[in-house]
Structure 1
Amino acid sequence: MKLDPFYLIVDSADWIERLVPLGVKLIQLRIKTMEDSGLRAEIRKAKALCAEHQCQLIVNDHWRLAIEEGCDFVHLGQEDLQNADLARIRTAGLKLGLSTHDHLELQTAMAAEPDYIALGPIYPTILKKMKWAPQGVERISEWERRVAPIPLVAIGGLNPDRLDGVFAAGADSAAVVTDITLNADPEARTREWIGKTERWR
């Protein structure tokens, strides 16, 4: 499978409503703490918006709700992977993305036969406290050799100026969170990312 090179990660359907119409084609809804009824409403709204704009929606963590709401792609971290019913996810026809931060996690992820592997943090990140040091672009090249032909997503501290190095090292897609959501003009920054990743489409 081929991933869009620009992979936006947001924490609400409102962000999807704001940014997907600008031309975003790959987006993850990543909501960590919310009750099921609220989550279901967010996923339902996100799914409708993405369908309207031909954007691939990926639901983070909440695979049961994703199945119930008819979504077709989930992303799991390593802890979530341990508790997930992979057989049920596959039977429901969902594609699967998995996070990795070190060699042991990569081994675990590859055993699950995912549809993409994410590696991070590539650079220092403010998204969350990490026990892993920044991986650097050299690790991207190593991971690419190990996971090919599975698509590789780079995440962590990315911005438009760092994209050339990330893609040259072997990443298929670059994931972004705070560089857009904390930007003074998220719409303009989104357009910049879309323009900067155009050559890898």
Structure 2
Amino acid sequence: MVFNKAWLDVYFILGSMNTAGRDPLYVVEQALQGGITCLQFREKGTGAKIGLDKFHLAKEMQRLCAQYQVPFIVNDDVGLALAIDSDGVHVGQEDQSIQEIKAIAPKGMVVGVSAMSVEQAIQAKQEGADYIGVGPIYRTTTKADAKEPIGLKGISQIRAAVGTLPIVAIGGIQAEHKNEIKEAGADGVSIISAISTARNPQEAARSFLS
């Protein structure tokens, strides 16, 4: 798939630990039926799958995404992204550098980077990131190590600093926040718990559509 900023409109992030005890493949398919525009596989934290279990879950999620023609991105694990030929990989500030990833990744593999400040966003742009994930926008309980929220003002400042580089916002986002987030300069929103723990993930995903 050729990267398009439309991927970022409703960017769902999921690991097996985020599903309120349900089968993650059920939640993924429900979200795909609800219209998510991208799926990021983020298998981290207490109880996360490792090794072959992680590999097989990633492959099954990737297979579902292919059925719905939705891009599939792997969080942090560059080796896994390469092994399954995912559409992209997303890394944090402490992970492998963009240049290192681009040197070993096939041409066309998308590389996204998390940025919590204008300085980090500018650096990501300079190093060749295809898009940046900015936040947290609001307070979130999904990530134990989440930083202080940057708010809508933070999005606007980063947008001004990086020009047309695609931006997706993350952190405590609900469907009713989407319009103000896009008005502040983001191209889309990243969601974890608002879809993954919803009683009806399909309806929850649909509520985020523009």
Per the TM superposition, whether the score is higher than 0.5 is: yes
Task: Please state which band the TM-score falls in when normalised by the shorter chain.
Answer: 0.7 to 0.9
RMSD: 2.0
> TM-score, structure 1 length as denominator?
0.88
What CA distance in whole angstroms lies between the structure 2 residues aligned with 1:129 and 1:27?
21
State the partner residue of 1:136. 151
Name the count of aligned residue pairs. Answer: 195
Is the 8 Å Cα contact of residues 7 and 26 (structure 1) preserved in structure 2? Answer: yes
Gaps of 5+ in 1: none
Of 176-185 and 161-170, deviating more is: 176-185
Is the 8 Å Cα contact of residues 67 and 92 (structure 1) preserved in structure 2? Answer: no
What CA distance in whole angstroms lies between the structure 1 residues aligned with 2:62 and 2:146?
33
131 and 177 in structure 1: CA distance in 2 versus 1, 3 angstrom threshold: closer
What CA distance in whole angstroms lies between the structure 2 residues aligned with 1:88 and 1:64?
13
Q: Does 1:183 align with 2:183?
A: no
- 40, 43, 55: which one aligns with 1:28: 40
1:187 Cα deviation after fit:
2.3
Is the 8 Å Cα contact of residues 122 and 156 (structure 1) preserved in structure 2? Answer: yes
Q: Does 1:53 align with 2:68?
A: yes
1:81 Cα deviation after fit:
2.8
Question: Equivalent pairs: percent with the same residue?
Answer: 30
Is the 8 Å Cα contact of residues 173 and 189 (structure 2) preserved in structure 1? Answer: yes
Match of 1:81, SS? coil
Of 150-159 and 86-95, deviating more is: 86-95
Match of 2:194, SS? helix
State the partner residue of 2:56. 41
Post-superposition Cα deviations, 1:105-131, rounded to whole Å, max 9, x if no partner, equal 324322321110111110111111346
State the partner residue of 2:11. 7
16 and 80 in structure 1: CA distance in 2 versus 1, 3 angstrom threshold: same
Is the 8 Å Cα contact of residues 97 and 116 (structure 1) preserved in structure 2? Answer: yes
State the partner residue of 1:164. 179
> TM-score, structure 2 length as denominator?
0.84
Is the 8 Å Cα contact of residues 3 and 151 (structure 1) preserved in structure 2? Answer: no
Higher relative contact order (CA 8 A, sep 6+): 2
Gaps of 5+ in 2: 17-23
What CA distance in whole angstroms lies between the structure 1 residues aligned with 2:29 and 2:104?
27
Q: Does 1:18 align with 2:30?
A: yes
1:46 Cα deviation after fit:
1.3
What CA distance in whole angstroms lies between the structure 1 residues aligned with 2:72 and 2:94?
21
What CA distance in whole angstroms lies between the structure 2 residues aligned with 1:165 and 1:83?
30
What CA distance in whole angstroms lies between the structure 2 residues aligned with 1:169 and 1:9?
22
Is the 8 Å Cα contact of residues 63 and 74 (structure 1) preserved in structure 2? Answer: yes
149 and 103 in structure 1: CA distance in 2 versus 1, 3 angstrom threshold: closer
What CA distance in whole angstroms lies between the structure 2 residues aligned with 1:92 and 1:50?
21
